[in-house]
Structure 1
Amino acid sequence: MTKVFSGRVARRAAWTAALAGIAAPVVAQQVAPAPQTTPTPTLQAVPVPPFVPNPPVVLPVLTAAQAAELAPILNEAGFAQGLRRVGDPAPGFKDSETLVRAALDYARAVHSGRLAESDFDPNWGLRPAAYDPLPAFAEAVKQNRVGAWLRDLPPPWAGYDTLQKGLATYRKIVAAGGWQKLAAGPDLAVGASGARVAALRKRLAVEDPQAIATGDKFDAELKDAVVRAQRRYGLNPTGVVSSGTLAALNVPAQDRVGQIMANMERWRWLPSELPAKRIQVNIAAAVLTVFEGDAPIASMKAVTGRPGNETPMLQSKIHSIVLNPPWNVPTGIAAKELWPKGEAALKAQGYKIIGTGANRRLQQQPGPKSALGRYKFDFPNNYAVYLHDTPSQSTFASFSRLASHGCVRLEKPGPLAQLLLRNDPNWQPDQINAALAKGDTLRVTLQEQDQVSVYLLYWTAFANANGTMNFRGDPYGWDKDLAAKIEKRSAITAAAVSAR
């Protein structure tokens, strides 16, 4: 999920004017001095380069065989890759040029996403690299491998491939009628029976081939099926169907299709290669995973931003760890949550008031009460967020862990710090613990080879190792927002292509 950044080189031209020297006045007896003059500087004319219009885009010309191969691929590809919905009209190709332009449009969309720059929410800091498919497409036409080129365009990630399979599965569910909404009522658990239990069995069997669809008794087998469903939805696996489980089961099948399509789009924002050593945070699931050699080696619970204080999607690199960090309280948080408590209460909680009047601000001193705990993991970003410890451990016991102001709180920051510093002989576990016990604030800069990429991602649909689809809630409403923008942008680009 590495970002590719491009810069623009600005050219500047400087004018240099040579000033003529001024001669001293000549004085003669009874003769008025000659008037002093300053020669006018001579400016050299700089030739203006002639206007050269941008050369017209030259599209490759397809052979009849290439056109016959390309058209059916495009008709199916946009649908299979989640760029078109069921019922959307297939693209029409009135001539070879329209077919080529449709191929280029599809290539851009499936390789780096459908959205334009203006479509991105400010919190979607993870952006795809610019991509121009024309040179590669022209080469594919030249080499007569257009079909193979198109098939190689989607993201090369197993996570994307499993979503594509899940998309096909859930579209079949929709085509078969989806599932019926379960009626509200008392919690259902082992021992219950009746029509609601019978409906529950039918509902679970739609997604779970192990579930038995018939019967109206809530037995141990049905409890196991409920637990599997709760795990798929990231809920507390109690085996009891309460309001939260009921709400997850009642999300329409068509909405699950849209959720899969939105997550496929986010995969397209990632580059084709990721650092083998990286840290990933799934914001929606509130889980952090450490990768080494492109394989997960550690995982821990996290706490991410509550709705209204969203944790942004971004990519960066952890460059340092602050031990015993103070908390410089953001102005908005201080005004809304802390100043109303009064200065005496704030001082009792370890806050230091810096400045006076309108310029005063709050800083919470390091210590056991500090909101940042003992560790802060710093990485550059435009959102002032970071990973950090917390003295509030109770939140990690919850299955809903969206409770922060936007930063990511960690369940096990100590082991993570030791992992990142393991190659630094000056910062082995004993030295880290001694520094923490002393209480002074220290910034430990990671050695360059130990600086690790970090990705904050928003995955609400993904498959586990056996291919079973998992879903999480859409706490920020980003799935629906993204789906609407994809649909709008698809309609705009389709109209532009067909109008040519």
Structure 2
Amino acid sequence: MNQRPALSRRRLPWCTGTFAAIAALVAPAAAQVAAPAVPPASTQVPASPVPPAPVPVIPVPPVAPSVPLPTLSAVQRQQLATLIADDELAQGLRLTRRTDLDTLDSAAMVRAALDHARAVHAGRLMPEDFQKDWGVRPTTYDPLPAFAEAVSRDRLSSWLRSLPPPYQGYDTLVAGLARYRAIADKGGWGTLTATPAFGSRGADVARLRERLALEDPQAPSSGDTFDAALLEAVRRAQRRYGLNPAGQVGAQTLAALNVPVERRMRQIMANLERWRWLPPELDKKRVQVNIAAAVLTVFDGDEPVMSMRAVTGRPGNETPMLISKINSIVLNPPWNVPTSIATKELWPKEKASPGYLKRNGFRVIDTGNGGKRLQQSSEKSALGRYKFDFPNDFAVYLHDTPARSGFSRFDRLSSHGCVRLEKPADLARLMLRDTPEWPPETIDSTVAAGKTVRAAMATPVSVYLLYWTAFASPSGQVGFREDPYSWDARLAVSVERRSAVQVQVAAR
């Protein structure tokens, strides 16, 4: 892979700090997480790739070019053939190298270059490829003016390097993809079947060492004794995979280690694509939720200032990806129960145990058209004492919860789609810090009084609900999380297949 040199353009603030800042977003640090005495019983089995639906070659309606299409010299055409073939691999647009570029004439090469620029800068997907709950969409991008200038000034390499998203988090993931591609080129890794324990010896321990060393430069690669150094290497691997870092090689750890390298590469490719959907610049003061890792982090510039565990949507009740602004906080909020939850869960409980609704603080409200809805009073609200509102098309929000036990788990995807917070009071104080009428003591006294009050924020704060299952350190070492919604598999397949479609289009 061609290493990206330092660019003259400014790298935008998110993830421009150390790998610790990235880790704060995607997983709790070991020091912050009290590991349960026993690892979760369920085995983390990697999901199989989702069979792709056919992607037709959709004719693109003619659009008047913003500037005249340039004509390439023979040298430029050959240069672009090499640059694009290399960059498609480096940017995670293809798993295997493209071989048709050398056969393209000048006009076809121009089309291929413009298509590549759009794919790297704003993503490979077409609008119809986006799921409804993928609410983060790339902005419109026209690569022609900059490309035409690069052709006229013979600066195609510089133009190509300017295309990727301006985030260090993207750059480090590109470096991580290169590391995994190198591992794949050498044959990848085999399947481990044994679960050696600390103090054991033998061939199984040696194989475990070799496997860990492929991803972890600090891991001891030789020897047949499960010693303290190997124990720490196992714990580092468990942290990278979002598992309980107990050092025991159990079923979950074995399953994570046995994910094929090609699937890890596709996972990285999917996350690179999501980076391309982000706006050109993220707001400096922002709340970010990593849905897959169930972690919330507050950023001020490029520094994380608060991080906490969250509970996000279970598969089937997915938390959507979206960007919005938190504009108010409801203190002591009642819960207006969504019809789907009332129908599937609460009305059946009332039927099975008459009086259940009243005992749990629910009111039955006549909708006026013969229907009924449920509202849970603030005293017993499933939303707890704090609800963070932001406009969105999915009726989701951040909120407190009286069910605190869920935060002690490593697998925290169990909500109906909203995001439950471990430390909502701390977040409320931080969000209202610039609102003079809501000092901490007023917040506390209002909550204690139990009355429902909406606290409007003087300065709305951006909120990003994002789905990150792969992230990398500046050295290119990658951490992974499960793909609970199977979005990685769908997205990676779509990226590859759209790339294949564009090969056909460019050749026309």
Is TM more than 0.5 here?
yes
Aligned AA (2:378): P
| Between 305-314 and 213-222, the greater mean CA deviation after superposition | 213-222
Residues 93 and 133 from structure 1, CA distance in 2 versus in 1: closer, same or farther, beyond 3 angstroms?
farther
Within the alignment, does 1:135 sit opposite 2:149 as a pair?
A: no
- Residue equivalent to 1:326: 334
Calculate the TM-score normalised by the size of structure 2: 0.84
SS at match of 1:183: coil
Q: C-alpha deviations, 1:96-145, integer Å up to 9, x for none?
A: 11111111010000000000000001110100011121122223333433
Residue 295 (structure 1) shift: 2.0
Residue 69 (structure 1) shift: 3.4
Alpha carbons 1:326, 1:372 under 8 Å: kept: yes
What CA distance in whole angstroms lies between the structure 1 residues aligned with 2:286 and 2:137? 18
Residue 468 (structure 1) shift: 2.2
- Residue equivalent to 1:430: 441
| Between 358-367 and 140-149, the greater mean CA deviation after superposition | 140-149
Residue 219 (structure 1) shift: 2.1
| Between 221-230 and 357-366, the greater mean CA deviation after superposition | 357-366
Aligned AA (1:84): R
Q: CA RMSD in A?
A: 2.0
Within the alignment, does 1:408 sit opposite 2:452 as a pair?
A: no
Aligned AA (2:430): L
What CA distance in whole angstroms lies between the structure 1 residues aligned with 2:88 and 2:457? 44
- Residue equivalent to 2:286: 278
What CA distance in whole angstroms lies between the structure 2 residues aligned with 1:146 and 1:496? 22
What CA distance in whole angstroms lies between the structure 2 residues aligned with 1:70 and 1:248? 39
Alpha carbons 2:215, 2:477 under 8 Å: kept: no
SS at match of 1:302: strand
Residues 54 and 327 from structure 1, CA distance in 2 versus in 1: closer, same or farther, beyond 3 angstroms?
closer
- Residue equivalent to 1:144: 154
What CA distance in whole angstroms lies between the structure 1 residues aligned with 2:263 and 2:73? 41
What CA distance in whole angstroms lies between the structure 2 residues aligned with 1:90 and 1:67? 13
Aligned with 1:469 (options 458, 470, 478) = 478
- Residue equivalent to 1:297: 305
What CA distance in whole angstroms lies between the structure 2 residues aligned with 1:401 and 1:418? 24
Q: C-alpha deviations, 1:179-203, integer Å up to 9, x for none?
A: 111115xx54213334432322221
Residues 230 and 341 from structure 1, CA distance in 2 versus in 1: closer, same or farther, beyond 3 angstroms?
same
| Between 284-293 and 91-100, the greater mean CA deviation after superposition | 91-100
Q: C-alpha deviations, 1:228-284, integer Å up to 9, x for none?
A: 100110111000011111111111111111111111111111122111111111111
| Between 376-385 and 341-350, the greater mean CA deviation after superposition | 341-350
Aligned with 2:114 (options 96, 104, 117) = 104
Residue 465 (structure 1) shift: 5.5
Aligned AA (1:352): R
1:18-37 to structure 2, matched below 5 A, reads none
What CA distance in whole angstroms lies between the structure 2 residues aligned with 1:406 and 1:414? 21
Within the alignment, does 1:487 sit opposite 2:496 as a pair?
A: yes
Q: C-alpha deviations, 1:124-168, integer Å up to 9, x for none?
A: 010001112112222333343332112101111111100110011
Residue 56 (structure 1) shift: 7.3
Gaps of 5+ in 1: 3-52
Residues 168 and 333 from structure 1, CA distance in 2 versus in 1: closer, same or farther, beyond 3 angstroms?
same
What CA distance in whole angstroms lies between the structure 1 residues aligned with 2:127 and 2:213? 42
What CA distance in whole angstroms lies between the structure 1 residues aligned with 2:389 and 2:63? 45
Residue 337 (structure 1) shift: 1.1
Alpha carbons 1:198, 1:214 under 8 Å: kept: yes
What CA distance in whole angstroms lies between the structure 1 residues aligned with 2:213 and 2:154? 47
What CA distance in whole angstroms lies between the structure 1 residues aligned with 2:416 and 2:214? 38
Calculate the TM-score normalised by the size of structure 1: 0.85
Aligned AA (1:63): S
Alpha carbons 2:337, 2:374 under 8 Å: kept: yes
Within the alignment, does 1:153 sit opposite 2:146 as a pair?
A: no
Gaps of 5+ in 2: 1-11, 14-61
Aligned with 2:373 (options 339, 347, 361) = 361
Residues 352 and 54 from structure 1, CA distance in 2 versus in 1: closer, same or farther, beyond 3 angstroms?
closer
Alpha carbons 2:179, 2:476 under 8 Å: kept: no
Aligned with 1:236 (options 237, 244, 269) = 244
Q: C-alpha deviations, 1:466-492, integer Å up to 9, x for none?
A: 542100000000000001111111111
- Residue equivalent to 1:162: 172
- Residue equivalent to 1:176: 186
Q: Return the structure number with greater relative CO, CA threshold 8 A, min gap 6.
A: 2
What CA distance in whole angstroms lies between the structure 2 residues aligned with 1:299 and 1:70? 44
What CA distance in whole angstroms lies between the structure 2 residues aligned with 1:192 and 1:242? 15
Within the alignment, does 1:379 sit opposite 2:387 as a pair?
A: no
Q: How many residues align?
A: 444
Residue 339 (structure 1) shift: 0.9
- Residue equivalent to 1:443: 454
Residues 179 and 258 from structure 1, CA distance in 2 versus in 1: closer, same or farther, beyond 3 angstroms?
same
What CA distance in whole angstroms lies between the structure 2 residues aligned with 1:54 and 1:336? 49
- Residue equivalent to 1:79: 89
Residues 485 and 239 from structure 1, CA distance in 2 versus in 1: closer, same or farther, beyond 3 angstroms?
same
Alpha carbons 1:275, 1:294 under 8 Å: kept: no
